[in-house]
């Protein structure tokens, strides 16, 4: 059954750009009140200015649990409740494991996993009190199939998927819904801000065998899944196909992964 977002209250982390900004715009356009939260506060304010009065900007570093908890509690207090928590902020860490340091792993884990854990647990506490709410965590198709050259990213996104599917079962009895989003390659600023180690990001994008999904299309797909209370949202079709193939035969994507690595290694010497 389709639901209405009118007069619902939502927080979107990573809301200044990409999927987050598109979600803020789409939610506000459907009548929700949206808190656009981002570490880049000026970017959040710019997004809110473009969206209009049904959006408010907030400065937020998702790696700081106190900041996340404060924003969630303040939002619930200001608007009387919190209906949706979109834990969307993330960072891509690219490079082969042989070139990565533990600090690269920590950066991926702090933002992509701890950031989601902080947002999830803070929102879950509020929603338990309310007896309702929906937590939507952004993972990635890379978390379902693993992606060579993006292993810290894949690992953190796999953990987000497990967190979300397990909490969905726990929250059901209390009226709290949990979903996880697993998109393929989306056209966002995550590539511009990616931490790349001996990877030529321009070449990486040029050699992708698929088209990038627009952020607006991704936001619409996510909200369709939220309306239908989907547990796992995987899009576009090639991402679902890859997931199905991996479930049928874990080595099904081995050839494609080797080709991907070969292309990455071909530009390795010229990359930073």
Active site residues: 153
Tell me the C-alpha distance between 177 and 174, whole Å: 9
């Amino acid at each position: 059954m389709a639901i209405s977002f009118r007069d619902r209250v939502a927080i979107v982390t990573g809301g200044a750009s990409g999927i987050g900004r598109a979600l803020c715009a789409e939610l506000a356009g459907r009548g929700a009140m949206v808190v656009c939260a981002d570490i880049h506060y000026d970017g959040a304010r710019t997004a809110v200015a473009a969206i209009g009065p049904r959006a408010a900007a907030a400065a937020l570093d998702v790696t700081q649990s106190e900041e996340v908890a404060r924003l969630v509690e303040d939002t619930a207090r200001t608007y009387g409740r919190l209906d949706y928590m979109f834990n969307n902020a993330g960072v891509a860490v690219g490079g082969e494991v042989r070139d990565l340091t533990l600090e690269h792993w920590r950066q991926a884990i702090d933002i992509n996993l701890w950031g989601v854990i902080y947002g999830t647990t803070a929102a879950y506490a509020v929603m338990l009190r309310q007896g309702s709410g929906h937590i939507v965590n952004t993972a990635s198709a890379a978390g379902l199939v693993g992606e060579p050259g993006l292993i810290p990213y894949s690992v953190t996104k796999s953990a987000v998927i497990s967190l979300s599917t397990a909490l969905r079962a726990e929250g059901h009895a209390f009226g709290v819904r949990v979903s996880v989003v697993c998109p393929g390659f989306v056209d966002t600023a995550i590539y511009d801000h990616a931490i790349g180690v001996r990877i030529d990001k321009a070449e990486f994008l040029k050699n992708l065998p698929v088209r990038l999904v627009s952020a607006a299309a991704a936001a619409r797909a996510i909200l369709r899944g939220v309306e239908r209370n989907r547990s796992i949202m995987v899009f576009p079709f090639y991402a679902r196909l890859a997931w199905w193939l991996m479930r049928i035969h874990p080595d099904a994507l081995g050839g494609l992964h080797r080709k991907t690595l070969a292309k990455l290694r071909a530009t390795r010497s010229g990359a930073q």
